[in-house]
């Protein structure tokens, strides 16, 4: 409680006591009045002590509250600083991660952009290829170009000829010039794409049967044309090759039309795809190497004979050189013998010079020679 409130309460109590005594009558004894005054004084003193005690308690409480407030403020400041530090570190970490993520995202977007460019270019190429394949003449040029690329990669220039004109006036897309047998082999590129697409896109069994019949007729016509134009007795081999520049068409033909394939074998026209053509060209290259080795066999034998004569002459010259070395070795041995004799004579002369004061010196005996008899020096 506030001190002012306590004093007011004391004053009220005093006034109440006075009112009580006034009611009791003015004729009350003087002792009672004195007692009342003493009680009133004691009460006022007690109230003053209570007010002072209350003020001291309030001051102590205020100090404690201020101390707690300061401690609480310090704790809050420390925790706020720690939270601020953690938030700052988290923000920096998130900033670094965001920057890294943005960098990765930019790189991936760049890759996606390049991929989109490649897809756009591929789409243009596909459209261009479709335009080429939709035109029969352009499709024929496409097959011839693929055929020429494969032949150039597999065989030497002397083993083939493009657009070669045969004796009957026919012009083959490629003529493989092989030795007899088997002789030159003609290759003609064919691409029956329309009938193949019709067969693949047929929805009903009847439509598929009709498309298969058309496809077989187109391929059979190409086989007969190649057999009549590019198989010439005495000029070419007894077989020819029909090149299909599509593995899908080749697989469809062998899967759906085995009778047409058998007919081509009977006509000596063998159908090849890009893969089987490469295998065929590798076999032809091995045949060419074997033929070249047979042609060079005589030259190789002549060279081997000439090499044998050279070896004989070398052996003779080595023999003469060996005899010269033997003579030189014997001459060196004779020279060593003469040198040893000279050294011995020099030693004897030195002994004579040392003993020249002796009057009875006898002549030195002749020393025997070592080894084989010495030739006259």
Domains of the chain, by residue range, sit at 135-295
Any residues with CB less than 8 A from the CB of 251 and at least 6 apart, and which? 273
CA angle 254, 260, 265 (to 5 degrees): 95
Q: Phi, psi at residue 66, to the nearest 5°?
A: -65, -40
pLDDT at 374: 43
Spatial strand order of the sheet with 160-165 comes to: 160-165, 171-176, 185-189, 240-243, 269-272
For residue range 144-167, list pLDDT tens digits in order.
Answer: 888 888 888 888 888 888 888 888
- CA dist 303 → 142, 261, 290, 308, 310 (Å): 48, 49, 19, 9, 10
Mean pLDDT along residues 113-124: 75
pLDDT at 180: 78
Most confident stretch, 8-22, 41-55, 184-198, 249-263 = 249-263
For residue range 305-360, list pLDDT tens digits in order.
Answer: 888 888 888 888 888 888 888 888 888 888 888 888 888 888 888 776 555 545 44
Confidence of residue 3 (pLDDT cuts 50, 70, 90): low
32-41, 78-87, 134-143, 321-330: range with lowest mean pLDDT = 134-143
Quick one: 338 exposed, middle or buried, by C-beta within 10 A (0-12, 13-18, 19+)?
middle
More confident position, 249 or 19: 249
Q: Give yes or no for residue 370 having a pLDDT over 50.
A: no
Query: Around Cβ 246, how many Cβ atoms within 10 Å?
Result: 19
One CATH from 2.60.40, 3.40.1350, 1.10.10, 1.10.3470 for 135-295: 3.40.1350
When the pLDDT of each residue in the chain is averaged and rounded to a whole number, the result is: 78
Q: Give yes or no for residue 196 having a pLDDT over 70.
A: yes
More confident position, 235 or 295: 235
Q: Give yes or no for residue 20 having a pLDDT over 80.
A: no
């Amino acid at each position: 409680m506030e001190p002012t409130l306590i004093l007011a309460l004391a004053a009220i109590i005093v006034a109440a006591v006075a009112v009580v005594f006034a009611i009791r009558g003015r004729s009350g004894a003087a002792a009672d009045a004195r007692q009342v005054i003493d009680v009133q004084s004691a009460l006022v003193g007690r109230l003053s002590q209570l007010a002072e005690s209350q003020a001291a308690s309030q001051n102590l409480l205020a100090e404690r509250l201020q101390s707690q407030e300061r401690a609480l403020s310090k704790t809050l400041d420390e925790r706020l600083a720690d939270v601020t530090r953690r938030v700052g570190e988290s923000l920096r970490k998130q900033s670094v991660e965001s920057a890294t993520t943005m960098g990765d995202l930019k790189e991936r977007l760049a890759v996606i952009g390049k991929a989109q460019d490649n897809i756009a270019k591929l789409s243009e190429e596909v459209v261009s290829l479709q335009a080429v394949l939709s035109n029969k003449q352009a499709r024929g040029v496409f097959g011839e170009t693929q055929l020429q690329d494969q032949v150039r990669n597999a065989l030497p220039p002397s083993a083939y000829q493009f657009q070669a004109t045969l004796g009957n006036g026919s012009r083959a897309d490629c003529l493989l010039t092989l030795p007899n047998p088997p002789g030159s082999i003609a290759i003609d590129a064919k691409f029956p794409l329309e009938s193949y697409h019709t067969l693949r896109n047929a929805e009903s069994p009847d439509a598929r049967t009709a498309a298969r019949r058309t496809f077989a007729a187109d391929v059979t016509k190409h086989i007969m044309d190649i057999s009549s134009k590019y198989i010439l007795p005495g000029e070419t081999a007894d077989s020819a090759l029909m090149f299909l520049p599509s593995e899908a068409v080749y697989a469809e033909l062998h899967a759906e039309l085995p009778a047409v394939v058998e007919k081509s074998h009977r006509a000596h026209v063998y159908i090849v795809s890009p893969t089987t053509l490469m295998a065929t060209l590798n076999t032809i290259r091995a045949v060419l190497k074997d033929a070249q080795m047979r042609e060079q066999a005589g030259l190789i034998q002549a060279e081997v004979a000439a090499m044998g004569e050279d070896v004989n002459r070398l052996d003779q010259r080595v023999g003469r050189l060996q005899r010269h070395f033997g003579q030189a070795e014997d001459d060196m041995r004779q020279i060593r013998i003469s040198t040893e004799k000279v050294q011995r004579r020099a030693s004897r002369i030195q002994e004579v010079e040392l003993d020249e004061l002796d009057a009875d010196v006898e002549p030195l005996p002749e020393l025997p020679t070592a080894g084989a008899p010495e030739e006259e020096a």
